[in-house]
């Protein structure tokens, strides 16, 4: 197995929305914000080679929307999607499997690109099967007012129209050493990959634990659809991760790439924070 982590881009969101009910007096001690209360989030993707599969986890925002759309996203830094793949030695055509944790625009947008004809779209990874949970697909295509801004037609329907969509119904092993946990609190059908690499187990925590500052059970995003489910799902994952010494890999933490866990009087917390290269 080969494994790579790269940051597609950083973007900014409201810090209050990102920390839900936690007062700024508390979250601002652990996560930096600017004068507009915005915080910078990364968009780390993972590339994993297992047997003949080259799997890409999540694809960032992509670039299909107009300037007005991206004015509210505040993209900054990062390596880019296609450029990040190239740095690690891959072309878009090499990717056999695109694993989408869910269909919110910052996670799946880069999977579909503009076609040559105006108004037409095509897959950015033409040889890949696109994996989405059935629960998330069914939820996203019927859309809802609450997540309307996050589900964009042009990110979603070109996947099914291409015939490359694979719907995952159950938790368990998808590829050898690559298992999936399915969650419902952030959005129904959020998939969390759990990957065995050498003697380690890595959890790509996605939007279940977006940053190291979101490890405490009630430090959750107000974007979550059902916050009580998020708490239960985090607790289950964190207890297993502590017991089995898993390493958490953060998609959205601007600073912290990875950590392991320890028990404290306040509950499970990050023990050591370190860069991904330390795992390799």
CA distance 62 to 155: 9
The CA distance from 240 to 223, in Å, is: 25
Q: How far is the CB of 157 from Zn ion (least distance, A)?
A: 19
User: Taking the complex as a whole, how short is the minimal distance between the CB of residue 199 and Zn ion, in angstroms?
Assistant: 31
Q: Which runs of E-coded beta strand occur in 17-62?
A: 38-50, 53-57
Residues lying near Zn ion in the complex (CB under 5 A) are found at 104, 207
Q: Measure the CA–CA gap between 74 and 64, rounded to whole angstroms.
A: 15
Cβ nearer to Zn ion, comparing 10 with 260:
10
- Rounded to a whole number of angstroms, the minimum distance from the CB of residue 241 to Zn ion is 20
CA torsion, points 201, 206, 211, 212, in degrees to nearest 10?
A: -20
Rg (CA), the chain: 18
Cβ atoms of residues 46 and 7 within 8 Å: no
Minimum distance from residue 158 beta carbon to Zn ion (Å): 20
Least distance to Zn ion, CB of residue 138, Å? 16
Choose between 64 and 104: whose C-beta lies nearer to Zn ion: 104
Calpha distance 182→94 (Å, rounded): 27
> In whole angstroms, how far apart are CA 45 and each of 3, 105, 156, 197, 268?
11, 14, 19, 16, 25
Spatial CB neighbours of 28, under 8 Å, sequence gap ≥ 6: 15
Q: With 0-12 CB in 10 A as exposed, 13-18 as middle and 19+ as buried, what is 89?
A: exposed
Least distance (Å) between residue 58 CB and Zn ion: 10
Which token pair is 70? 């991206």
Task: Decide: helix, strand or coil at residue 215.
Answer: coil
Q: How far is the CB of 192 from Zn ion (least distance, A)?
A: 12
Give residue number: closest CB to Zn ion.
104
Smaller CB separation from Zn ion, 11 or 90: 11
The nearer residue to Zn ion, 54 or 106, going by C-beta atoms, is 106
- Measured from the CB atom, the residue of 104 and 113 that comes closer to Zn ion is 104
Rounded to the nearest whole angstrom, what is the least distance from the CB of residue 106 to Zn ion in the complex?
7
Nearer to Zn ion, 44 or 104 (CB): 104
Minimum CB distance to Zn ion smaller for 12 or for 175: 12
Residue closer to Zn ion, measured from CB, 50 or 214: 214
Least Cα distance to 32 among 254, 250, 257 occurs for 254
On the CB side of 159, how many CA atoms lie within 13 Å of its CA? 27
């Amino acid at each position: 197995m080969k494994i790579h982590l790269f940051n597609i881009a950083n973007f900014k969101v409201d810090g209050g929305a990102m920390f839900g009910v936690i007062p700024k007096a508390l979250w601002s001690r652990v996560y930096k914000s600017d004068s507009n209360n915005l915080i910078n989030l990364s968009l780390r993707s993972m590339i994993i080679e297992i047997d003949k599969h080259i799997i890409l986890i999540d694809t960032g925002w992509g670039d299909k929307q107009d300037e007005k759309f991206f004015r509210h996203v505040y993209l900054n830094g990062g390596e880019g999607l296609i450029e990040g793949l190239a740095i690690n030695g891959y072309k878009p055509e090499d990717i056999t499997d695109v694993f989408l944790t869910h269909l919110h625009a910052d996670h799946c947008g880069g999977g579909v690109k503009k076609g040559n004809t105006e108004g037409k779209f095509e897959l950015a990874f033409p040889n890949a099967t696109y994996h989405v949970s059935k629960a998330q697909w069914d939820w996203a295509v019927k859309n809802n007012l609450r997540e309307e801004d996050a589900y964009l037609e042009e990110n979603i329907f070109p996947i099914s129209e291409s015939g490359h969509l694979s719907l995952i119904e159950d938790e368990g092993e998808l590829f050898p050493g690559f298992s999936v946990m399915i969650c419902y609190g952030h959005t129904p059908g959020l998939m969390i990959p759990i990957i065995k690499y050498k003697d380690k187990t890595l959890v790509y925590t996605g939007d279940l634990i977006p940053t190291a500052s979101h490890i405490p059970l009630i430090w959750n995003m107000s974007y979550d659809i059902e916050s009580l489910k998020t708490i239960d799902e985090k607790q289950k994952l964190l207890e297993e991760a502590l017991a089995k010494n898993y390493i958490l890999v953060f998609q959205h933490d601007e600073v912290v790439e990875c950590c392991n866990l320890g028990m404290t009087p306040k509950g499970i917390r990050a023990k050591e924070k370190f860069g991904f290269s330390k795992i390799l």
